[in-house]
Chain A
Amino acid sequence: MAKFITVEQAADLIPDGAVVMFGGFMGCGNAHKIIEVLAQKGTKDLTVISNDAAMMNGPDGSEFYGLAKLVHNKQIKKLIATHVGLNPEVAEQMNNGTMEVTLIPQGSLVEMIRAGGAGLGGVLTPTGLGTIVQDADHVHSVVEIDGRKYLLERPLRADFAVVCGYKIDRAGNIWYKGTTRNFSQMMATAADIVIAEADHVVECGEIEPENVVTSGILVDYVVNGGES
């Protein structure tokens, strides 16, 4: 059963050096309140697994949108992502050697996370064959099945997954609005501890069972992020 905690308590759960998956796509769907407190606290040496490092400016007018705050504060030691082009500070830190960046094709990254959360030994994908991705550490080998070649990608897990739901009920069931679900649905299956930020906390039943996207059984902690 999900435990309701404050945003500060959530940030305190994550120690220096933790491996953390963050849901979100160019900042959309990031757990903004939790990230804000992590940035204030200065939790350091994080390994972050996320689609991207968000953007320098958010649609809400903020500077350093979502995960860009943790990049700007140099709290990320290693970033595993698919695209970092909208946050030039990543390239800066990569070039001066303070951040290690591993780029993985988007479809492979999400399936590696799905495999990590679903007890699968890996993912076979044609994506990346014959490219420099083939030589990366996350690729176990090239496998031929019935005459077709695939990369065997390793599963991926984390210490923590930090996601954001538009509605989260008292049992921790999550409904995501718009495109905010992106990686969050799979990340919530692939971490030892799952922390979910709720834009709105609702009573059980307000999210109909058939509309629950992430089951509350996966969610360890819920932070009431706001306007309930």
Chain B
Amino acid sequence: MEKHEIKGFIAARVAKELKDGDVVNLGIGLPTMIPNYLPEDVSVILQSENGIIGTNPNSDDLNPMYVVDAGGQPTAANIGGSFIDSSVSFGLIRGGHVDCTILGALEVDQEGNLANWIIPGKKVPGMGGAMDLVVGAKKVIVAMEHTARGNAKILKKCRLPLTALQCIDMIVTEMGVMEVREEGLTLTEYNPEFTVEQIQEATEAVLIIAPDLKKMI
């Protein structure tokens, strides 16, 4: 796979996890590409934690002095959507009213721990809403490239400060799909451009191979 195809490939696979009518919160970067890959009969309600239910970044009617998304970018509310304050927004998030959140990661591990908000001494952007989202959303999907400059990001144990403990349900990369299960991190789908051995080699965590392992996409 060419480098420039990777993000779209991951986004297309994550899109298959979403059901019509799901309330979904997308992190910045790759996750924002996911709606482009939804089938025509699947429409999701995008929540933006700064206070929008039903965001529509493709609207012709943008007014960024008054309406931005959680990344500070221009967006709009759909007809049928609503604007809410931060307290209600995070009440929805922690209260389990968001079906799925999809976000990137610096590190994840085989216990489902997530680190995505700080590299001490180097990068301290802050957690924003991430800690609440991964604790409160019904399903947490990490969408990211499998490695960073050749180094494993899927570890036995996260080394960076955590965003939350045991919060991840699923990890989707260009190499495969992994689910955090009681028995361990389980490879359920693989990209046939890679062998299972190559995927394990790029992963520090111990992968359990699902008995019904499928091809990705």
Q: Is the interface of B mostly helix, strand, loop or mixed?
A: loop
> Contact between A103 and B126 (Cβ–Cβ < 8 Å)?
yes
- Per a CB cutoff under 8 Å, which of B68, B125, B126, B162 touches A179? B68
Provide the residues of chain B in CB contact with A82, threshold 8 Å.
126-129
- Known contacts A25-B50, A177-B66; A51/B86 CB under 8 A: yes
- Minimum CB–CB distance from A69 to chain B (whole Å) comes to 16
Q: Is the CB of B74 within 8 A of A59?
A: yes
With a CB–CB cut-off of 8 A, which chain A residues contact B163?
Answer: 131
Q: Which of A84, A86, A107, A185 gathers most chain B CB within 10 Å?
A: A107
List of B residues within 8 angstroms of A91 by Cβ = 123-124
- On chain A, the residues within 8 Å of B67 by CB distance are 28, 177-179
Residue interface bits B15-50, CB-to-A below 8 A is 1, else 0: 000000000000000000000000000000000111
B135 to chain A, nearest CB (A): 5
**Bound form: Cα–Cα A101–B90 in Å:** 22
Which residues on the A side are within 8 Å of B52 (C-beta)?
179
**What total count of A-B pairs have CB within 8 Å?**
147
Q: What is the total number of residues of chain A having a CB less than 8 Å from a CB of chain B? A: 48
The segment out of A10-18, A70-78, A122-130, A215-223 that lies at the interface is A122-130
Give which listed residue, B128, B129, B161, contacts A132 with CB less than 8 A.
B161
B-facing residues in A107-133 (Cβ within 8 Å): 107-108, 110-111, 114, 125-133
The distance in angstroms between the C-alpha atoms of A112 and B164, with both chains bound, is 20
Q: A185 CA to B89 CA in the complex, in Å?
A: 12
Contact surface of A with B, Cβ cutoff 8 Å: 25-28, 51-52, 55, 59-60, 81-86, 91, 94, 101, 103, 105-108, 110-111, 114, 125-133, 166, 176-186, 213
